[in-house]
Copies of this chain bind each other. A is one copy, B any other.
Amino acid sequence: MTESKPYSLSVKAVILDDSGRCLLLRRAGGSTHFPGCWEWPGGKLDPGESFSAGLEREVLEECGLNLELTGLAGAMEFDMPRARVVALCMEARAGGGALRLSDEHEDAAWVSLSRLKKHKLPGPQRAFMLDYAARKSTTS
């Protein structure tokens, strides 16, 4: 009964370095959802926050980096217990700051897109992440 769940918007950043690797954060082992899985940083918007400001805030909170948005990576949707989540994924560069994790994550790694599939990814996001990696490797 996905129809009866409210939609919720999340934002995620595919932060790419000069070698085309993306930043993955490993969710803490005690996380309610997807413990130990590697994910792109991001999260929900605060009320009244624009999607770009919310994404910049989330990334700064989660990994200490300032963000320069460079384009759209795409969008995915997946079910969570209380909502149907639509996640808007933006490509970005790190514009300063130093990598520093919050309690939400326990590791970070710059991973080439071709090696994304070797990581344990959040189940409902895996297909989109690998599809993005495949699209990106054929166009760059």
Contacts and interface: CB of A to CB of B under 8 A. Distances in A.
Number of copies: 2
A74 interface: yes
Contact of A86 (B7, B72, B76, B86): B72
A57 B48 CA distance: 16
A70 to B, nearest CB: 7
A72 B10 CA distance: 13
A112 interface: no
Contacts of A77: 71-72
A50 B7 CA distance: 9
A30 to B, nearest CB: 29
For chain A, the bracket of interface size reads 20 to 34
A69 interface: yes
Interface string A51-73: 11000000000000000111110
A72 B70 contact: no
Nearest to A52: B7
A6 B52 contact: yes
A90 B76 CA distance: 11
Contact of A88 (B6, B69, B86): B86
B9 A51 contact: yes
Interface of A: 3, 6-9, 47-48, 50-52, 68-72, 74-77, 86, 88, 90
